[in-house]
Amino acid sequence: MEFTEFQLHPQVMSGVVAAGYMAPTPIQEQSIPTVMEGKDVMGLAQTGTGKTAAFVLPILHRLMTGERGVVRALVIAPTRELAEQINEAFAVLGAKTGLRSVSIYGGVNITPQIAKVKRGAEIVVACPGRLLDHLNQKNFTLSQLEVLVLDEADHMFDMGFFPDIRRIMGYLPRQRQTLLFSATMPAEIRRLALEILHKPVTVQVGTSAPAVTVSHALYPVKSHLKTALLMQLLQHTDTDSVLVFTRTKHRAKRVGEQLEKKGFKAASLQGNLSQNRRQEALDGFRNGTYQVLVATDIAARGIDVNQVSHVINYDMPDTADAYIHRIGRTGRAARTGDAFTLITDDDTEMVRAIERVLGARLKTSALENFDYNVPAPTNNQEFARPPQQPRPRRKPAEPGKGSGPRRPSTSPAAAGAPAVRAVRPQTGNRQPLGANQQLKRANTNNRRGR
């Protein structure tokens, strides 16, 4: 099948040609005609199979007719990186359409986002929290919305976004088209789909497992030798770009720093970085400035880099689904990829869970000439956080400083004499008031309500 068979608007089709798209992927082939018919869709497909274009193209086609300058399509994504990736897809594929899209997420100044929407954006790609900020502040309205997309719905559930999603629904018109895409479909997501979708058409391509183009290998190792083994694997493996996943932000930062010290072109991507630093690391990974990107699961979605040849799990993920999403960063678009996972004795149960999802045993590997028997140091400080520096105490203000020169006191207390409380002198017999004075006092007391 070719893209011309979808009969997309000519200006949308020009974006397809400019992007170099040849033939639609299975999820695109099955989803695009259904979306173009205006039906609600629940799409389930492996990561890296082209889900983004499966909803971007029919949305662009729909918006070519109708009012311009108002928000008519909303895409909700779980991470900033994924929001930027989707926004870029709208920009590339819709370059000839004149339609405008804007990405909205937290961690950056809200004012430019308001300005972009008010300049007449028809498409908003947003993370739930910042979108709610805009809606609560009435920065723009979604009253004319025609299409809603929930992308990576399972990940939004994992991140606890569902209360926000339900609040957002209160701002949307009931008459709309709703599309829900996900790599996996747990029971909770399916229940949400039944709440917000109207007679949806389910499109499922393959199973919720990594693409068959990915090979898997487990590397048993003791915890204190993980970094050393990682470096040896990188040195002795023919790689293009490599994604290394850690469990915590602090560990991602430390592993990235250690790789950089050893001469690797490495960077880290984790939640403590500012949006500019995160974007710089991601752009550098895409353009080849960095060969290795060490990341937390925040990067498991939204990294669309076809040249990722290897994914290395420095730490085992918490769930089998998280493993699937990590591994989905390689073996994309029919390319081959490798997934290495460093495992310890504590990871046995998770290995079995992953094998159940894959329906196959994972092979165990060992790196030649690597000493797996090096004892653990008595005080392993590899990932110890630096001690918090004590704050210097404020020095008490010296006499005569801090408020300008003081005038010398002449009171007896200042001279060392005991303080004496001022006492109002008591008068003796009071003089009787005159008639006029008595009348004046009576009027005053009446006004006071006495």
Regarding whether 28 and 52 lie in a shared domain, the answer is yes
Sign, CA dihedral 326-329-335-337, equals negative
- Average confidence (pLDDT) over 79-87: 90
Q: DSSP label at 23?
A: S
Are 157 and 257 in the same domain? no
Same domain for 238 and 117: no
**Last residue of one domain, picked from the residues 156, 177, 205:** 205
pLDDT digits (tens, 9 = 90+) for 293-332: 998 876 555 566 667 889 999 999 888 877 887 887 786 6
Residue 183's contacts (CB-CB under 8 Å, 6 or more residues apart) are 44, 45, 46, 47, 152, 154, 208, 321, 324, 325, 328
- 174 domain-assigned: yes
**pLDDT at residue 441, rounded to an integer:** 59
Mean pLDDT value across residues 35-50:
85
Dihedral of alpha carbons 255, 80, 156, 12, sign:
negative
pLDDT at 25: 87
Q: Which of 176-190, 249-263, 302-316, 368-382 has the highest mean pLDDT?
A: 249-263
Has residue 259 got a pLDDT over 60?
Answer: yes
* Secondary structure of residue 158 in the 3-state scheme: helix
* 231 in the same domain as 198: no
Looking at residue 60, what is its pLDDT? 97
47, pLDDT greater than 80: no
Place of tokens 């950089």: 260
In a domain, 380, yes or no: no
Alpha-carbon span 126 to 79, nearest angstrom = 9
Identity at 236, one-letter amino acid code:
H
196 lies in the same domain as 218? no
* Band (17; pLDDT cuts 50, 70, 90): very high
Instruction: Check whether residue 28 and residue 81 sit in a common domain.
Output: yes
Residue 416 lies in a domain: no
371-374 CB contacts, 8 Å cutoff, 24+ apart: 372/221, 372/222, 372/225, 374/224, 374/225, 374/228
Region of poorest pLDDT, from 235-244, 273-282, 283-292, 378-387: 378-387
Tell me the DSSP string of 209-267. S--TTEEEEEEE--GGGHHHHHHHHHHHS--SEEEEE-SSHHHHHHHHHHHHHTT--EE
Q: How many C-beta atoms surround the C-beta of residue 174 within 10 A?
A: 6
Q: Quote the DSSP letter at residue 303.
A: -
211 — pLDDT class (breaks 50, 70, 90): low
| pLDDT at residue 392, rounded to an integer | 63
pLDDT (tens digit per residue) in 383-411: 655 555 666 666 655 555 544 444 544 44
- Mapped onto helix, strand or coil, the DSSP state of residue 358 is helix
Among 164, 187, 205, residue at a domain's last position? 205
Note whether 66 and 136 are same-domain residues. yes
pLDDT score of 318: 85
Average pLDDT of span 225-232: 94
Q: Is 44 helix (H, G, I), strand (E, B) or coil?
A: strand
Identify whether residues 198 and 69 lie together within a single domain.
yes
Same domain, 226 and 145: no
Q: What share of the chain has pLDDT > 90, as a percent?
A: 49
pLDDT of residue 377: 83
- At residue 412, the pLDDT reads 46
pLDDT at 417: 47
Domain with 56 in it: 3-205
Nearest C-alpha neighbor of 179 from the set 326, 53, 11: 53
Residues 11-16: what's their mean pLDDT? 95
> For residues 381 and 55, what is the distance between their CA atoms, to the nearest angstrom?
48
- Range in 226-235, 244-253, 292-301 with the lowest mean pLDDT: 292-301
What mean pLDDT is predicted for residues 199-218? 76
Q: What is the pLDDT of residue 397?
A: 56
256 assigned to some structural domain: yes
The enclosing domain of 295 has a CATH number of 3.40.50.300
pLDDT over 70 (residue 163)? yes
Q: Is 379 inside a domain boundary?
A: no
Nearest to 53 by CA among 329, 321, 333, 298: 333
pLDDT on residue 423: 47
Burial (Cβ within 10 Å: 0-12, 13-18, ≥19) of residue 204: middle
The confidence score (pLDDT) of residue 444 equals 53
Secondary structure (DSSP) of 363-418? EE---TT--TTPPPPTT--TTPPPPPPPPPPPPPPPTT-SS-PPPPP-STTTTTPP
Separation CA 270–CA 178 (nearest Å): 31
- Same domain for 325 and 219: yes
**pLDDT on residue 394:** 62
Q: Could you tell me if 31 and 168 lie in one domain? A: yes
Q: What distance separates the 2 farthest-apart alpha carbons in the chain?
A: 119
Number of domains present in the structure of the chain: 2
Domain final residue, candidates 205, 238, 265: 205
* pLDDT on residue 290: 92
pLDDT of 2 above 70: yes
Q: What is the pLDDT of residue 390?
A: 61
Are 313 and 262 in contact by the 8 Å Cβ rule? The answer is no
**For residue 420, what pLDDT is reported?**
47
pLDDT value at residue 179: 96
pLDDT at 156 over 80: yes
Residue 137 pLDDT: 94
Q: Percentage of the chain with pLDDT > 70? A: 78
Query: Residue 105 gets which letter from DSSP?
Result: -
Question: Is there a single domain that holds both residue 126 and residue 261?
Answer: no
Cα 169 to Cα 152: distance, rounded to the nearest angstrom: 17
The token pair at 185 is 């479909």
Q: Is residue 257 part of a domain?
A: yes
Calculated CA dihedral for residues 176, 153, 151, 130, nearest 10 degrees:
90
Mean pLDDT of 253-267: 93
Q: What Å distances lie between residue 316 and 63, 296, 313, 337, CA to CA?
A: 43, 11, 6, 18
Burial of 99 (0-12, 13-18, 19+ CB in 10 A): buried
First CA to last CA distance, the chain: 99
Q: What is the pLDDT of residue 415?
A: 45
- Within-domain flag for 419: no
Question: How large is the average pLDDT for residues 88-93?
Answer: 95
Confidence of residue 201 (pLDDT cuts 50, 70, 90): very high
Q: Write out pLDDT tens, residues 51-74.
A: 899 999 999 999 999 999 999 999
CA angle 75/80/86 to nearest 5° reads 45
How confident is the model over 405-448, as pLDDT tens digits?
445 444 444 444 444 444 444 444 455 555 555 555 555 555 54
Q: Mean pLDDT for the chain? A: 83
Report the distance separating Cα 221 and Cα 379, nearest Å: 19
Residue 444 lies in a domain: no
Extract the tokens encoding 414.
């200042």
Side-chain-side CA neighbours of 88 within 13 Å: the count stands at: 11
pLDDT at 140: 93
- pLDDT value at position 410? 47
